[in-house]
Amino acid sequence: MALSSFWVSLFIIVFTITGSIPATAEDSESKEFVVTLDHSNFTDFVAKQKLIVVEFYAPWCGHCKKLAPEYEKAASILSTLDPPVVLAKVDANEEQNKVLASEYEIRGFPTLKILRYGGSVVQEFKGPRDADGIVSYLKKQSGPASFEIKSAEDASSVVDEEKILVVGVFPEFSGEKFDNFTTLAERLRADYEFGHTLDAKLLPRGDSSAAGPLVRLFKPFDELFVDSQEFEVDTLVKFVEETSIPTVTLFNKDPKHHPFVIKFFNSQDAKAMLFLNFGSEQFEAFKSKYHDVAQQYKGKDLSFLMGDLEASQGAFQYFGLKEEQVPLIVIQTNDGQKYLKPNVEPDQIASWVKDFKDGIVQPFKKSEPIPEANSEPVKVVVADNLQDIVFNSGKNVFLEFYAPWCGHCKKLAPILDEVAVSFENDADVIIAKLDATANDIPRETFDVKGYPTLYFKSSTGNVLQYDGDRTKEAIIDYIQKNRATVAKEDSRKEEL
């Protein structure tokens, strides 16, 4: 399962360059070039477009407000192309448009989608967010999916030392294999650049005598190019996706690495991350040993990343790590389990990863210390006492998952205090809270996507998410009703 965009945001630094594009017509300031769509006209309008870009935004979103003038400038330029490229927007915060937002899996703002062929093909917009960048990116996206390489100069213009390029070599531009390559290029054009040629001699690397058909992927790492002669479309997609991830992905503040970091976190594999100071004397020793291990497990559902300590503070906050544990390895599996090896030495990497693969390493759990005194009306739950207080106490537990910085949580806090005081003399009810930013929680039981999230665990083990009013009266009434139901069920079981 690919990790969420929140994960990636812990590691990626977003660089925004504000572009300046002059208006192309005197009335450009008064005329709006971005088309406003909503639930009533979206489907019909999109159905008429070969290519359209749609921004899903929220009026209160600061990033959306920053994007708006750049998006409008880009729309004015793109409207002059032949054929024009249409930019549109949808207020995804509007209640009637939320079905659209759900259909297009909008999880944050602004989100830009490229819709092709009447909306039958949907791709993520992965270009810049300034006007110049939007225009440049969409000119490429609106043209042919693959660029014909007719000369060595053409090849040198598209083979970039920092990017992936996928080139098809063919004896002629026709037939099933060429058609499949064209389909591949169309499907993945938002993520990669494609070219095709009749002459492999024009390409800077690889067998220059190859007549094809073959697909050659150029990359700025590892072996620099890889060939494939498989032309089934899904097989080609897998080839491109797998070979375009480095054996070891580097993460530091150099933006040229960021596209590969994103690919690393969006892969299906478990993820091994080695964090250390890239300026340390042992860096080369770690890099060599870690690369050897990564090569050993390549294609075995485990991907590898090296992160510089300075650039990886988001990861340390997320995992609850400390700088004195560096150098350290963290492995995160797709079920959310984390495995940790602090103060690792280069020669220990191979044996520890083998122990992990053999199931010997125990999961790491992030937890605040268990409170020595837990005497306040609202009890403090941490990862290390969650089982004892919530699941093994045999009591009815109303539990809040909160974040210390959350305004809604701060507003709820005195209300929960009042609820807890009202049950103070009731030995069968516990009102509790857990800082979800500082403690790991069992995601298979609690679905926490925002703060505060409220759950009720009955004395018989039923776990229910509370979505009622956040008032003292409503919460008390909910607890009493659910506990009463449980009690009735218990008595019926005893009678049976």
Per-residue DSSP letters for 378-406? SEEE-GGGHIIIIISS-SEEEEEEE-TT-
pLDDT at 51: 92
Alpha-carbon gap, residue 340 to 319, rounded angstroms? 10
How high does pLDDT run on average in the chain?
87
Please tell me which residue in 158, 361, 406, 438 is annotated as part of the active site. 406
pLDDT at 7: 42
Token digits of residue 458:
């009955």
61 catalytically annotated: yes
Please tell me which residue in 409, 412, 419, 475 is annotated as part of the active site. 409
pLDDT at 449: 81
Alpha-carbon gap, residue 269 to 304, rounded angstroms? 9
Q: Which amino acid is at 385?
A: N
Its pTM surpasses 0.85: no
Torsion-angle region of 383 (φ positive above 0: left; ψ -120 to 50: alpha; else: beta): alpha
pLDDT at 30: 54
- Residues facing residue 305 across a β-bridge: 249, 273
pLDDT at 207: 92
In order of their start, the domains of the chain are 11-142 (3.40.30.10), 146-243 (3.40.30.10), 248-357 (3.40.30.10), 379-495 (3.40.30.10)
439 catalytically annotated: no
64 catalytically annotated: yes
Please tell me which residue in 64, 240, 315, 441 is annotated as part of the active site. 64
409 catalytically annotated: yes
223-253 core/surface letters (b: 16 or more CB in 10 A; e: else): eebbbbeebeeeebeebbbebbbbbbbbbbe
- In this structure, is the dihedral angle defined by the CA atoms of residues 197, 198, 201 and 202, taken in order, positive or negative? negative
pLDDT at 16: 29
349-379 core/surface letters (b: 16 or more CB in 10 A; e: else): beebbeebeeeebeebbbebeeeeeeeeebb
pLDDT at 8: 42
Alpha-carbon gap, residue 55 to 53, rounded angstroms? 7
Please tell me which residue in 61, 158, 438, 474 is annotated as part of the active site. 61
| pLDDT-flagged residues of the chain (< 50) | 1-29, 485-496
